Amino acid sequence: MITKQKIMTLKLGTGLSVLALLALLTIIVSALPSFNAPARVQPMLMQMAAEHPNTMIGIIVQKSVQDKSVEELVAKLNGAVTEDLSIINAFAATLPANTVKELAAANGVKWVSLDAPIVQTACTLPCIDTSNLKSIYPQTIKATKLWNANGNLQGQGIAVAVVDSGINANHPDLLNADGTSRVIASVKMNSAATTTDDYMGHGTFVAGIIGGNGKASNGAYIGLAPQVNLVNVKISDDQGNATATNLIKGLQWIYNNRKQYNIRAVSLSLNVTVDESYKTSPVDAAVEVLWFNQVVVVVASGNQGHKALYPPANDPFVITVGASADNGTITSLDDYQTNYSGWGKTIDGISKPDLVAPGNNIISLLSNSQSAFAIAHPDHLVTGFSGSNQYFRLSGTSMAAPMVAGATALVLQSSPTLTPDQVKFRMVKTANFITGGSIELDAFNAVMSNQTKSLNTGTAINNMLKASNQNLGWTSLNWDSLNWDSLNWDSLNWDSLNWDSLNWNSLNWDSVYWGEDNLSLTRPSPNTTSLGKSK
């Protein structure tokens, strides 16, 4: 397990650590150069020298002479030669940054460059071959940069619960090398469901985005965390029908079993059908119980465009995800939020979504050739692989939410002690701005961040949780200004809330967008969207 890519230690002199240098490099690369650098010195190095003149810095000096005159000059400049690099007629040295310009201008100097830190790219097993990768989204949000780094961040040891229509646990892309399934538990919460299998096709598709390993496609279609464990919580019947009661039961099962299976995240590509304040919604109360018990809850924003965001997408604590279009390119510079993606203010005045992720024309796992999706939309089948069809193409915020759930597994594998609020902070604060003002997930940035701040401090919780304070000893708390990091939530449990006499509504599964594939997607106006929020 790593918290950052391991960096081979090089001597950079006192006063400038490798990590500090990396941070400095990031700043410099974004603004090169602001002055005229000597012809024989790396511009980045001159920028560093100008900004940090009193720092001892590591350099490599290439010579045009065979004598030691340049080495002698380094000593006169209060520097020191650290290594002889005779293979290229050069040497490594440390010296004060404010002397770099003088050294570079000296006779006998061919080129002076930064003795930059080296990032290890050696891959310890299991490596992922990305040479055949056809899916754009793992590259757009930079998950691929984490898979084969030292430590192989692929979701190992983390479990993500998929609360949905079931999962085909025997799909080739969900199997380990020994043939066992990475779906480590399967349960059904709907008495009308005959099995935990996915007869609809929605849940398996979601599972593939989170953790498909690309086995059936020879590495063409791989999910965000290819070795993550999955927990199948089927809440619908075999036709995809479910109610909020089924959802609550599923969330309760996750709460009861979260420690046994190390469930650190939940993917919810569904909403209830009636708008309601998050403070009174029983569904929102349920997701908050999980949230405060160290389970990150990720929810699709829905496909109704600029309309109401229904529970649990309206909850301020969860990570609500809208859909972006990646335009078939790896760069995020041409990405934008799709016109169908749910966004706006909830009835409580909360701006959503929190961020967006690729959700348009996504290819993931097909449950089976007889699933409802495959039969109703045969034109969405993806062919070209040996055996029966294994992949399907869909669009919607249902596809975007599991992207964030998969990225959450990578973040928590790297930094397992983070709370859900800290994970959310990293996701939001390290996301990339895209056309229209929304922000798009960047898994690599989220993993590499050092941030441990919380995003939801001071946010009011659901009234059902407040009402339970007699049992929990919370009567003295000021809920309007509470710092969540200072609170011990261990006493918060499912049984302390009153779930009786609640009016459950049906669930909305329209987070799949069945519009034309070649959509003319409207870019949200900069005047209506900022940071995923409406103005």
CA-to-CA separations, 39 to 79, 100, 106, 266, 454, in angstroms, rounded: 22, 12, 12, 55, 47
Annotation marks residue 377 as catalytic: no
Q: Tokens at residue 105, please?
A: 């201008």
195 closest CA partner among 231, 168, 161, 162: 168
CA gap 394, 397 in Å, rounded: 10
Tell me which H or E stretch contains 26: helix 18-29
113-146: b or e for each residue (b if 16 or more CB lie within 10 Å)?
A: bbbbbeeeeeeeeeebebeebebbbbbbbbbbbb
269 - beta bridge partners? none
Would you say 299 and 315 are in contact if contact means Cβ atoms under 8 Å apart? yes
Cα–Cα nearest to 187, from 255, 250, 260, 263: 250
**Structural tokens at position 230:** 């999955």
Contacts (Cβ under 8 Å, ≥6 apart) of 27: none
Closest CA to 184 of 201, 162, 159, 205: 159
Report how far apart, in Å, the C-alpha atoms of 372 and of each of 165, 300, 375, 405, 456 are. 11, 21, 5, 25, 39
Dihedral (CA of 426, 430, 432, 437) sign: positive
Alpha helices in 53-150 (DSSP H): 69-76, 100-104, 137-140, 144-147
Contacts of 470 (CB under 8 A, 6+ apart): none
> Max alpha carbon distance in the chain (Å)?
90
List 135, 364, 395, 398, catalytic entry: 398
Catalytic site includes residue 398: yes
Q: Are 424 and 455 in contact (CB under 8 A)?
A: yes
Distance, CA of 433 to chain centre: 15
Per DSSP, the three-state class of 44 is helix
Report d(CA 161, CA 151) in Å as an integer: 24
Find the helix or strand (DSSP H, E) in which 376 lies.
helix 372-376
414 is catalytic: no
Cα(122)–Cα(439) distance, rounded to whole angstroms? 32
Q: Cα–Cα–Cα angle for 15, 21, 26, nearest 5°?
A: 150
- Residue 128 and residue 232: Cα distance in Å, rounded? 25
Find the catalytic residue in 186, 197, 202, 364: 202
Are the beta carbons of 185 and 259 closer than 8 angstroms?
Answer: no
Quote the CA–CA distance of 473 and 330 in Å, as a whole number.
51
- How far is C-alpha 372 from the geometric centre of its chain's CA atoms? 30
Q: Which residues are designated catalytic?
A: 164, 202, 398
